[in-house]
């Protein structure tokens, strides 16, 4: 529970009258307790698991489904005079459920002076958190009894629905915030204020990510990172309330609440900025210099920039280089990472935030356009199954970043069927691709080679394909890798392969082949194919798949 105080003229008066003397009361459940919240109705259990919240701990309630409606009641710290407060919000999620929709998210505020309620008209999303917030403006609320002013004189009860389905369900509550003393201002002026100041700003959602969003003024004069609170969609017009903070020289809003959200038609267009000019000077000392750019700071705005990809790691972090400048980039996990040494253009939020030693220059990057591909470099992403999780026993079928699987192909750790000594010999890393359970499995990846169209159509490029492959003992289970040249309509022009390689007594054997890239090639489809001929398991092993274009 967080209770952030602002100066009161007479503290003893607050104690006597019950004034809520704070500009933010927030139940964040980070201490692992219920923080005074009580569940009523047909409740089977209430816990704080400590993880899985938005973030950290949260109130987790299980509905017994015996006919009553489940609510959660706020502790006494939320009681008192609300005339100085401006907004109420809470984060909600549905963990699991079975049945049909019964009711929607609702806030009910009661006291001796009356009762008012606010209904959001939807239930929380399944498996994701959503912030529900509303301004404390009488015209937005439904009067059940009494009067608005009399109610705010002395609030004695705040309850929030935590049941939405006719059947059994498990739901979550986090970050219940009652806020006030947050003056309205522009994003640009807010960034000139000191840390700790609570502000209310309006803007358009330019980038929505898993842990934050960016909003910017419609005139693109300023933008800011908003943590732990989200718009529904990029392009929505939002009003946000939060407290200013600074990390990695970037101003942002923490403990933020979306007070209102109006659907927009589309995300704003990005501002085109040279890589070396990202960063810049803030308007005041409260917004410090970022990098060595002499221009006015554009941090917080949606931008588009370009550069050569010099490094990529499995966590979605990469580095762009251009004209002697470098920029750290956090990549959107929904999109494939680009190939190292490719020259790309991308869009994202101009940033320098985040926790830990990595303070990115661009956050939430996506909308990649490959402007140039490197020759004599491997164009296959996750060529050795090192990205993502890997199975320790071959049973678990796990996602393989960069590849689209069919059947039960998975990443399998060395030291299972294939000894670690083989990995050491070939530079195989921790794991290899494995056929898994079943007669057939494959994994496919498409490489866009359209930036090299002129060289391809001149007949000057050759494709080199290689992979290490093996099989169990002397069995006939085998693997192969097929590269297909596709035209602009994804039709196959021609193809070639390496393998198949059958039982090799768990040794990994290198296979290599080459073919000229035919005229009209715009993509190359790389497909690993594992086929079982004996036994129950498809014991085909593949590692270090490589596709290189050269002159």
| Cβ–Cβ < 8 Å for 541, 480 | no
Q: End-to-end alpha-carbon separation of the chain, Å?
A: 64
In a structure prediction context, what are the per-residue pLDDT tens digits for the chain, which is 551 residues long? 554 433 332 222 232 223 333 467 889 999 999 999 999 998 999 999 999 998 899 999 999 877 788 999 999 999 999 988 888 989 999 999 887 777 899 999 999 999 999 999 888 999 988 888 888 889 999 999 999 999 999 999 999 999 998 888 999 999 898 887 788 899 999 988 998 888 899 999 999 887 789 999 999 889 999 986 666 789 999 988 888 988 877 889 987 878 778 888 788 899 888 887 776 655 555 555 555 555 556 788 999 999 999 988 877 788 898 888 888 898 887 777 788 889 999 999 988 744 445 578 888 888 888 888 899 999 998 999 998 899 999 999 999 988 999 999 999 999 999 999 999 999 999 999 999 999 999 999 999 999 999 899 999 999 999 999 999 999 999 999 999 999 999 999 999 999 999 989 999 999 999 999 999 999 999 999 999 999 999 999 999 999 999 99
What whole-number distance in Å separates Cα of residue 40 and Cα of residue 48? 16
Contact predicate 276/293, CB 8 Å:
yes
Dist. CA 108–CA 91, nearest whole Å? 16
Q: Write out the H or E segment, with its range, that includes residue 72.
A: strand 71-73
pTM: 0.63
Q: What are phi and psi of 86, to 5 degrees?
A: -120, -20
Assess whether the region 2-180 and the region 187-262 belong to the same CATH fold. no
DSSP-assigned letter for residue 455: H
Every domain of the chain and the residues it spans: 2-180, 187-262, 271-372, 404-550
Structure tokens, 396: 């678990």
Q: Are 163 and 169 in contact (CB under 8 A)?
A: yes
Name the class of domain 2-180. mainly beta
CA 40 to chain CA mean position, Å = 34
**Tokens in use for 523?**
């993509």
CATH superfamily of 187-262: Bacterial OB-fold (2.40.50.200)
Using DSSP's 3-state secondary structure scheme, residue 368 falls into strand
Class of the CATH-defined domain 404-550: mainly beta
Torsion of CA 343, 349, 355, 358, to 10 degrees: 20
At the topology level of CATH, where does 271-372 sit? OB fold (Dihydrolipoamide Acetyltransferase, E2P) (2.40.50)
């Amino acid at each position: 529970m967080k209770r952030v105080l602002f100066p009161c003229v007479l503290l003893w008066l607050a104690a006597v009258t019950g004034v809520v003397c704070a500009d933010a009361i927030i139940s964040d459940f980070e201490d692992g307790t219920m923080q005074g919240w009580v569940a009523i109705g047909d409740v089977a259990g209430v816990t704080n698991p400590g993880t899985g919240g938005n973030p950290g701990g949260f109130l987790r309630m299980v509905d017994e489904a015996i006919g009553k409606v489940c609510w959660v009641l706020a502790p006494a710290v939320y009681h008192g005079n609300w005339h100085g407060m401006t907004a109420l919000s809470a984060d909600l999620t549905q963990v699991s459920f079975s049945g049909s929709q019964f009711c929607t998210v609702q806030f009910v505020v009661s006291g001796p002076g009356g009762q008012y309620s606010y209904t959001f008209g939807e239930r929380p999303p399944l498996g994701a958190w959503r912030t529900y917030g509303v301004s404390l403006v009488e015209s937005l609320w439904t009067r059940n009894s009494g009067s608005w002013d009399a109610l705010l004189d002395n609030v004695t009860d705040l309850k929030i629905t935590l049941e939405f389905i006719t059947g059994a369900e498990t739901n979550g509550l986090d970050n219940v915030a009652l806020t006030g003393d947050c003056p309205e201002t522009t994003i640009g002026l807010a960034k000139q204020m000191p840390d700790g100041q609570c502000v209310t700003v309006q803007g358009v959602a330019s980038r929505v990510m898993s842990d934050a969003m960016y909003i910017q003024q419609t005139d693109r004069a300023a933008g800011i990172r908003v943590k732990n609170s989200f718009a529904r969609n990029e392009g929505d017009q939002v009003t946000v309330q939060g407290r200013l903070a600074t990390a990695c020289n970037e101003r942002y809003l923490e403990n933020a609440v979306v007070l209102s959200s109006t659907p927009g038609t589309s995300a704003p267009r990005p501002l085109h900025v040279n890589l070396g000019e990202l960063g810049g000077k803030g308007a005041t000392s409260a917004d410090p210099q970022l990098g060595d750019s002499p221009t006015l700071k554009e941090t917080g705005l949606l931008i588009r920039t370009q550069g050569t990809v010099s490094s990529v790691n499995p966590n979605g972090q990469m580095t762009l280089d251009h004209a002697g400048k470098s920029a750290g980039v956090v990549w959107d996990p929904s999109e494939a990472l680009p190939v190292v040494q490719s020259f790309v253009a991308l869009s994202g939020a101009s940033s320098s935030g985040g926790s830990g030693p990595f303070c990115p220059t661009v956050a939430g990057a996506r909308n990649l356009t490959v402007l140039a591909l490197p020759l004599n470099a491997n164009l296959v992403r996750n060529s050795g199954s090192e990205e993502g999780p890997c199975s320790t026993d071959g049973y678990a079928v796990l996602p393989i970043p960069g590849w689209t699987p069919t059947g039960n192909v998975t990443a399998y750790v060395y030291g299972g069927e294939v000894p670690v000594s083989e990995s050491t010999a070939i530079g195989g890393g921790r794991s290899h691709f494995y056929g898994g359970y079943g007669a057939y499995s494959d994994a496919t990846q498409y490489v866009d080679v359209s930036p090299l169209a002129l060289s391809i159509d001149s007949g000057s490029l050759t494709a080199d394909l290689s992979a290490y492959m093996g099989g169990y003992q002397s069995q006939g289970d085998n693997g192969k890798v097929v590269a297909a040249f596709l035209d602009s309509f994804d039709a196959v022009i021609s193809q070639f392969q390496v393998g198949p390689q059958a039982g090799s007594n768990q040794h990994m054997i290198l296979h290599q082949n080459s073919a000229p890239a035919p005229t009209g090639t715009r993509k190359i489809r790389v497909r690993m194919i594992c086929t079982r001929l004996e036994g129950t398991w498809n014991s085909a092993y593949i590692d270090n798949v490589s596709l290189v274009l050269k002159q």
